[in-house]
Amino acid sequence: MNYVDVVTFGIALVGAVLGILNFWIERSRTRVRLKVIPKLCYQMGPDIWLAGTKPESKFQAKIDAPMRPARWSIEVINLSEFPVSISQVGFGNPKGNPDGGRCIIVAPEISTGHKMPVRLESRQAATFYSMVGQPLLPQAISHPIAWAETDCEFIGTGSSPILVSEAAKLARTA
């Protein structure tokens, strides 16, 4: 193997690596990516809600959480490079049927003030609130996952420590 062959092989290897890298970048650019964050919100005033993702007992004790109205919310962030429309959000197994595997938040209150479906531009977020006092259903207790579904039927999922903690508490008492 002479010098010319080594240089040719090196250039070909660099070209192959760059080709794979470009393929990977282009593929991720055209994928739908959602960040889904379930939160537990406590009412602090007439229109003031304090949301949390971690079960911090000191914080909950400080605001006297058991005595305050609470509701679940799901924040959805569009991490794609293009707009997406969110058609449904909920808890439980996102692949299950609505009768037994997942629970949908019907007519959620939306932070943007829009109605469903909600169009999210790239890097835009919206929070979907359930009704005050609505408990987690058994589907969400057995599968502590929040999900958001787009109009093109892509489902993004996410969880948080407070959802897992509350589901475990409810499972112990059931």
The pLDDT of residue 139 is: 72
**What is the percent of the chain with per-residue pLDDT over 70, rounded to a whole number?**
90
Better-predicted residue by pLDDT, 136 or 87 = 87
Helix, strand, coil fractions of the chain, as percent rounded to 5: 30, 35, 35
Distance CA 125, CA 78 (A): 6
Q: Which amino acid is at 8?
A: T
Distance CA 164, CA 140 (A): 9
Rg (CA), the chain: 22
The pLDDT of residue 64 is: 64
**What is the percent of the chain with per-residue pLDDT over 90, rounded to a whole number?**
36
Distance CA 85, CA 97 (A): 21
Confidence of residue 8 (pLDDT cuts 50, 70, 90): very high
Domain residue ranges in the chain: 1-30, 34-173
Distance CA 81, CA 29 (A): 6
Question: CB-hemisphere CA count at 13 Å for 152?
Answer: 10
The pLDDT of residue 82 is: 92
The pLDDT of residue 105 is: 86
Query: For 10-66, how does the pLDDT look when each residue is reduced to its tens digit (9 = 90+)?
Result: 999 999 999 999 998 888 778 899 999 999 888 887 877 788 777 776 666 666 666
Q: Is the pLDDT reported for residue 99 higher than 60?
A: no
Q: Report the relative pairing of strands 34-45 and 70-78 from DSSP bridges.
A: antiparallel
On whether the CB atoms of residues 119 and 83 are closer than 8 A, the answer is yes
On whether the CB atoms of residues 95 and 139 are closer than 8 A, the answer is no
Task: Choose among 128, 125, 104, 103: nearest CA to 115.
Answer: 128
